Each structure stands twice: as C-alpha cells, then as structure tokens.
Amino acid sequence: MTVVSLALNGRHVSADVEPRTHLADFIRDTQNLTGTHLGCEHGVCGACTVLVDGVPVRSCITFAVTCAGASVTTIEGLDDDETGAELRAAFTREHALQCGYCTPGMLISARDVVLRAEAPDEHAIRVAMSGNLCRCTGYVGIVRAIQSVIADRRARGIAAVTGAGRTALGPAGAGHGAVVAASAVQLGSGKTLIAAQAAAPEELADWKPQASFEKSFVVSYPIEKVWNLFSDTAEVASCLPGASLTGDTGARNVTGKMRIKVGPIAADFHGSAVIDREPATKSGTIEGSGRDPRSSSATRGLIRYRLLPQGADATKVELDVGYRLTGPLAQFSRSDLVNDIAGRMIEAFVQNIEARLSGVATNTATELNAGNLIFSVLLARIRAGLRRLFGRENH
C-alpha cells in the first residue's frame, strides 16, 4: 500500500492505495467524486478524462501513484471555471448530450480545445475531440457547441492560450519526481519490483477522526532523557507491541507496519506516518495511515503528545489520540472498548519505555494481541460489576 497525496480541485487530499490503483478509482472511491465516469477502462472512450497539471489525461490508465504531488482537476473542479460554464451553457443550447455519460470527459477535453485552438474548423474540432466517444447523441451538437464557444471568446478578444494552462510537460504527473521515492521490493521469484512510494501527506486538512481519547502517564525519568527517547523514532516504535519500521527510520516520513491479532483475525497494517517534533515545547505529532490488504481494514490516526516535567526526576506524557477505522476490524472500534484497550497498550508501552531508559534490553511483543486485551478488559469489567453487586472483591 502506498499513501498518495495530491491536490484535487485545489484541496490537498491523501489516501492509502494499492500501487496498481488507477487515478479514476482514487478519485471516485477514496474521494467520492463520481463526476469522473468509467466507460471502457482501457483508454479508448475518454469518459474518464481529467486534468493533471492542466493536461487532459485518461484517469483509467493513469496510476494514482504517478500523480503524487500533482494538481488534478475533475469536472467538479470546473464548477466556477469561466470556460467550463460557457461550455455547459453551449452544450445545453446545442443539445450536445442525451444520457450525459460521456459529458464530463467531453467537457474537459472541449475546454482544452477552446483554450488552445485559435480558430479551428469543424474538421479540426472533430480530430481534436476524437479521443472522446459518445454512444448516443452523435457529434453534431457537440462540435457546434465547441465552435460557438470559441467564436464567442474570439469575438470578445480572448485569444488562444499557448499550452492551455499546462504547468508541466511529459506524462501525467511528470515534474513531481521529487516527492516520489522509488523503493525496491525483492520478490520471491528473484525479480525486483520497483514500487513508487509516494511521500506522506504534507497537509491533511480534510481528515476528521471518527473517535478520539486522551490519556496520560508518568515516567520516572527527567524530561530531557524522555524527550531524547521520543526523538528516536526507531526506539519509540520498538516499545510499541506489534509495531515495526522499514526504510529510513530517521526521516520525517516513515513507513512501517503494525501487526494486530483479534481472535481469529490477524491483520498487518502497512502504512506510513509523518512525524513532527517541537523541541521548544517538548511536543509533537504523529500522523499516519495503514491498510491491511487481507481483511480490507484501514486505519488513520493522529497522535499529539506533550511532555511535562513532574519535579526534577519524572515526566508526565499527555496523549491526545484521534483515529478512524474501517473494514471488518472496525467492529472493535467502539470508543469505550478502544479506550480500555488503549489504556492497556499504554501500560505495556510505559513498561517498555522505562526499561529502555534504565538500559534494560526488552523483548517487545511482535504482535498486538487485541484479543487478549479485549478478554482482559471484559474480565475486569465483569469483576467490577460483581464488586458493585456484592460489595466485595471477587477472584
């Protein structure tokens, strides 16, 4: 899985997708923008046309990972576009659509022709639009609509624009190589797969947690010592049951996995995180997302932490955790249950941190057995209930 971040209709968006996911599915399935239609799904009909860096591309044959860092515009992004509005009015006037299935792609390609071609005749428009097929209207109305918009704009003194808003030359997403790091994965067959690993999101302004909780704990070590450990991503990850990192653990963007077992379900969440630290306030954030391909569960989380001195020899760690869990494992995301499980995870985390700080080698569990945690949480609740009922301790 790969986190792909790009600007979609002017918004920064991000999603964790398979490397084979094409841009159309990224737009429709992860961003719920269904104005981009899928017809042939092999680059012939043009229904899926969108703009990537100002260039019309077929999103059904464009990998989402190749668009990391790019600016993508769909038909929804042309709501306030002047040329788009003129074309919509002309398509209506000239009866240039019937079912409308081809229309989003048609309008995006037509806009490119209107902006780019100074004074095309009917034949030139038909050639320029030949990558967009309409199965029901025929092309007379479409060509007339485009011709009328071009004539009207030229009459108003609006000349053709060289490049028509293109911001980069080359294939879709070209020019964004700096934010795509190639990672080599050795396959069992001995072949090497070069997978595009998109940089983690710079900004996730639109992401909203489904639930959140706050926790705090105290470690019996001075704040500077605890801060030093928190500044070492690999050390922190090694204290979390089930967590492991891959690649450069000193980078701001790290990749890794979290192994969780809940009864018969074992999930390996593969993902990435962006880590930011603020030394002046001894605080930081960890924002990450991951996906388990086998259970199709996905998660996204934001952890904010802050260290506060408790006298000279102890440190209080305050945590504010927001998360979203989807897929089969979401059944375990009830907030009170997650809260209890998080409490127990943090107990294990604190024990491991204290052991690290004291120099004792720890053997952190290779998976988070949430099944055991749930069982022990339920047992604790039953005991508390019995205590309340009979007013005495039960064992």
Which phi and psi angles does 30 have, rounded to 5°? -100, -20
**Contact region for ligand FES (CB under 6 A) — 9-17, 32-40, 119-127, 237-245?**
32-40
169: helix, coil or strand? coil
Q: How many residues bind ligand FES (CB under 6 A)?
A: 23
Q: For ligand FES, which stretch binds (CB under 6 A), given 133-141, 153-161, 179-187, 257-265?
A: 133-141
User: Between helices 223-230 and 335-357, what is the axis angle to 10°?
Assistant: 110
Using the contact rule CB under 6 A, the part of the chain among 98-106, 120-128, 230-238, 369-377 near ligand FES is 98-106
* Residue with token string 């301790």: 393
In whole angstroms, the minimum distance from the beta carbon of 46 to ligand FES comes to 5
**Could you tell me the smallest distance in angstroms from the CB atom of residue 250 to ligand FES?**
41
**Contact pick of 11, 79, 85, 99 for ligand FES (by CB under 6 A):** 99
Residue 247: partners with Cβ closer than 8 Å, 6 or more residues away = 183, 254, 255
Using CB under 6 A as the binding rule, whether residue 40 contacts ligand FES is answered as yes
- Residue whose CB is less far from ligand FES, 63 or 221: 63
* Residue 60 and residue 24 in contact, taking contact as beta carbons nearer than 8 Å: yes
Helix (H, G, I), strand (E, B) or coil at 180: strand
- For residue 243, state whether it binds ligand FES (rule: CB under 6 A): no
CB 1, min distance to ligand FES, A: 24
Q: Does residue 148 bind ligand FES (CB under 6 A)? A: no
Interface residue with ligand FES, options 55, 87, 108, 134 (CB under 6 A): 134
Least distance (Å) between residue 304 CB and ligand FES? 42
Determine the Cα–Cα distance for residues 162 and 229; give it in Å rounded to an integer.
Answer: 55
How many other CB atoms are there within 10 angstroms of residue 259's CB atom? Answer: 18
Structure tokens at 193: 């797969």
Q: Go through 313-350 and write b for each residue having 16 or more CB atoms within 10 A of its CB, e for each that does not.
A: eebebebebbbbbeeebeebbeeebbbbbbebbbebbb
Name the minimum Å distance from CB 363 to ligand FES.
Answer: 52
Residues 6+ apart with CB under 8 A from 98: 136, 137
Quick check: 47 binds ligand FES (CB under 6 A)?
yes
CA distance 295 to 65: 23
Separation CA 333–CA 214 (nearest Å): 15
- Closer CB to ligand FES, residue 24 or residue 180? 24
Instruction: Note whether 44 binds ligand FES by CB under 6 A.
Output: yes
127 binds ligand FES (CB under 6 A): no
Query: By CB under 6 A, what part of segment 341-380 binds ligand FES?
Result: none
Interaction between residue 60 and ligand FES (CB under 6 A): yes
Among 14, 31, 109, 137, binds ligand FES (CB under 6 A): 137
What does the binding site for ligand FES look like in residue numbers (CB under 6 A)?
38-41, 43-48, 58, 60, 97-103, 134-137
